Amino acid sequence: MKPFLPFAVLAVLVCFLAEGPRPAQASSSVAEKFEEFGHKVKDLAENIASKTKEAFREFSTKARNWFKHTFQKIKDTFSK
């Protein structure tokens, strides 16, 4: 079992070395990946912001209606 692991690592290393360096292609693909990642983060942030705004609007509407109904009940109780 012990000699098998160094041979596997050596085989992977040889595969990487056989492909050769691709600095121009690698740098452009990395740049494209970072740009794509930036767009995804921006879209995610906008999505979270819109959902948060909607949640606050819904909460404020429900809270306002609850207070309105509660105060109306209190007013009705004391007016009798």
Domain spans in the chain, listed from the N-terminal domain onward: 32-80
7-24: per-residue pLDDT in tens? Answer: 677 677 666 666 766 655
SS3 22: coil
11-66: per-residue pLDDT in tens? Answer: 776 666 667 666 555 556 887 888 888 899 999 999 999 999 999 999 999 999 99
Interatomic CA distance for residues 55 and 42, integer angstroms: 20
The stretches of 1-80 forming alpha helices (DSSP H) are: 4-19, 23-79
Interatomic CA distance for residues 40 and 34, integer angstroms: 10
